[in-house]
Amino acid sequence: MNLINQDTIFYHLFPLGACGAPHENNFQSTPINRISEIRGWLDHIQELGCNAMLLGPIFESGSHGYDTANYYEVDRRLGTIQAMRELSEDIHARGMRLVLDGVFNHVGRNFWAFQDLQRHGRGSAYMDWFADLRFDQQSPYGDSFSYACWNGHFNLVKLNLANPEVREHLFGAIRLWKQEFNIDGLRLDAADALSFEFLKALRAFGEQLDPGLWLMGEVIHGDYRRWANAETLHATTNYELYKSLYSAHSAHNQHELAYSLNRQFGPGGIYRDIPTLYNFVDNHDVSRVASLLQNHAQLYPLTIALFGAPGVPSIYYGSEFMLEAVKGSSDWNLRPEFKPEEMGASQAAADLAGHIRRLASIRANTPALTRGGYAQQFVAADQLVFERTLGDHHALVAINSADLPARASFALPGKAGWVFRDLLNGDEIFRVEQNGQLSLALPPCWGRILVNTF
C-alpha cells in the first residue's frame, strides 16, 4: 500500500527560491547548506495540517533546477547530501512523507554527458544519450550538432530514454535518493513528454525498489487515465480542477467547478479510480491564486472546496499568507524567498493560514472527506453544495463565493429528519425537513462543512 494516500495533505516548496539561493550556479562555489533552513519551517508546515512535503528540484543544476547537471549531487547552492539527509530525517521523524521532483525528460547543457558530447562530438561515448542528435546542422547555441529539446527551450536537452544506459543512470539516482533520503515518492516533471514505455519501466523499477513508492506525473492536458493506471503512474497533477477552482470564483461561475467535479468524481466519474489525484490552486509555474481573484475573501470558499474535494490537496508555500505574484517572462517571482514570519504578519494573512489549519483538521478527522464518494446537490452562479459519502458517514460541503449572503435549498431523498452538524461554524445544527428538503443559509465568501450525527 502506498504511504501517500487520501489522508495526505501536501506542502509544496521550491527550495532554490524559498531558501534564497542565487539564480545561477557557477559550479565552483563551496556548498552552502541553505536547505537546512527548511528544518526551521517544519513546525509551521505541520501546524498548518500538512503531513507530506513536495520539494522542487534539489539536485545540481545550472539555474532553476529543471536543467539538471548531476542527478547524484545536491545543488551546491542548497547544500550537501548530508544536509539533505538531515532534513529528510527530521521530516520523517515527524511522521511526514517526502516527495522529490524527478526531472527525467531533459537535462541542462551543463550535464556532464552533454559536455562530453560537446568536447568529443562523434567520438563521445554518450552520443546515444540524447534524443534526435544530428551532426548535419548546428544548435541555436552554435554546437556542431543539433538535438531535441523540451518545448522549444534548447537549454533543456531531451534525453534518449530508450537507451538502457540512460535508464540505468536515472534509476541509479532514484536508488540513491531512496537510500540517502528515504523518499516516499516522486513528482515527475513533464510527465506528458515521457514515453509510456519509459513510465512502465519506471513503475516496475519503483515497485521493486519500494512497493510503496508513489509516482505522480505533471500532466496539464488530456485524459489523466493515460498516465495514472496500474502500469504507469499512481496519480497526476489535476490541472483541470485547478482551472475550474479559481475561475469558478473569479468569473462567478460555480457551474464550471460543478461540471469538473462531477465529470471527474461523480457517478460514472472518469477519475474515481485515481484516489490520490494531486489537487492545487497554485504552484511554481502559475500565477498565485491571490493574484487571480479580485476579491481576496473568495480564498475562503475556494480553500473549502479544495479541502472538500476528492483527491489530495496541496498548499504552495506562501499562499497560506495570501502571497501574490503574476507569471511573467521569469518564474522567479512565483518562487520567492520564504519568510513566514514576515509573510504572516498581517491579520489577513494570519486569518487565512488559520482557516487552512482548521480545514486540514476537519478533513483529517472526517473519513467521508478523504475516502468518500462524490455527488452534487446544488449549484448556482456563486454557490455549490456537494456530498461526500463513505458508508453511513455523510459530509456536505457548501460554498458561497458571492459577497452577499445566499441560501441553498435542495432535496436529500431518504434523509428526512436527519440531523447535520456544521464543523466549520461552531457546530451549528441543521435538520432535514420531513419532505426531504434541507435549506442552508450561506454567509458571504464562506461556506459550511456538515456531517450527519448518529
DSSP string, 58-75: -EEESSSSSSEEEEEEE-
> 180, 173, 225: which is closest to 202 by C-alpha?
173
Residue where one domain finishes, among candidates 346, 368, 390:
368
User: Do 46 and 182 belong together in one domain?
Assistant: yes
Mean pLDDT to the nearest integer, 349-366: 98
Decide which of 155, 181, 216 is a domain's last residue: 155
Q: How confident is the model at residue 257 (pLDDT cuts 50, 70, 90)?
A: very high
The mean pLDDT value for 69-76 works out to 98
| pTM exceeding 0.85 | yes
CATH (domain of 390): 2.60.40.1180
Q: Are residues 348 and 382 in the same domain?
A: no
The residue written with cell numbers 495526505 in the block is 8
Kindly report, residue by residue over 405-443, the tens digit of the pLDDT.
999 999 999 999 999 999 999 999 999 999 999 999 999
- Would residue 5 count as lying in a domain? no
The percentage of the chain sitting over the pLDDT mark of 70, rounded to a whole number, equals 100
- Whether residue 260 has pLDDT greater than 50: yes
Query: Taking 60 as the threshold, does the pLDDT of residue 1 lie above it?
Result: no
- Quickly tell me which residue has 501517500 as its cell: 4
Tell me if 1 is assigned to some domain.
no
Q: Would 380 be classed as within a structural domain?
A: yes
Task: Say yes or no to pLDDT of 388 above 90.
Answer: yes
> Over the stretch 19-46, which tens digit does the pLDDT of each residue have?
999 999 999 999 999 999 999 999 999 9
Structural domains counted in the chain: 3
222 lies in some domain: yes
Residue 193 and residue 57 share a domain:
yes
Q: Are 279 and 238 in contact (CB under 8 A)?
A: yes
Q: At 89, which CATH number?
A: 3.20.20.80
Answer whether residue 454 shows pLDDT above 80. no
Residue 160 lies in a domain: yes
- Tell me: do 283 and 401 sit in the same domain: no
Q: Same domain for 301 and 218? A: yes
d(CA 299, CA 289): 8
Q: Over the chain, what is the mean pLDDT?
A: 97
Q: Which residue is associated with the grid cell 474535494?
A: 309
Over residues 78-94, mean pLDDT: 98
Instruction: Return the C-alpha cell found at 80.
Output: 550537501
Distance CA 191, CA 64 (A): 18
Q: Give me the mean pLDDT over the 185-200 stretch.
A: 98
> Using CA atoms, how far apart are residues 399 and 393, in angstroms rounded to an integer?
20
Q: What is the mean pLDDT of residues 336-365?
A: 97
Q: Which of 334, 368, 402 is the last residue of a domain?
A: 368
Spell out the residues 6+ positions from residue 289 whose beta carbon is closer than 8 angstroms to its own: 246, 281, 282, 299, 302, 319
Identify whether residues 276 and 133 lie together within a single domain.
no
- Asked whether residue 323 falls in the same domain as residue 242, the answer is yes
Average pLDDT over residues 303-315: 98
Q: Indicate whether 38 and 131 sit together in one domain.
A: no
Please check whether residues 208 and 189 belong to one and the same domain.
yes
pLDDT for 2 equals: 60
Q: Would you state the pLDDT for residue 21?
A: 98
Those residues with Cβ within 8 angstroms of residue 367's Cβ, 6 or more apart along the chain or in another chain: 390, 393
DSSP string, 113-172: HHHHHHHHGGG-TTGGGBTT-BSSS--TT--SSB--EETTEEEEEEB-TTSHHHHHHHHH
Answer yes or no: do 117 and 265 share one domain: no
Q: Is the pLDDT of residue 219 over 60?
A: yes
Residue range 94-120: average pLDDT? 98
pLDDT, tens digit, 9 for 90 and up, residues 146-181: 999 999 999 999 999 999 999 999 999 999 999 999
The model's confidence at residue 3, banded by pLDDT at 50, 70 and 90, is: confident
Looking at the structure, tell me whether residues 342 and 362 fall in a common domain: yes
The answer to whether position 445 is within a domain reads: yes
Does 116 score more than 90 pLDDT?
A: yes
The per-residue pLDDT for 156 is 98
Residue 329's pLDDT is 86
Average pLDDT over residues 127-132: 98
| Domain ranges, residue 416 | 372-452
Residues 120, 39 within the same domain = no
Residue 449, all three cell numbers: 462543512
3 lies in some domain? no
Is 359 part of any domain?
yes
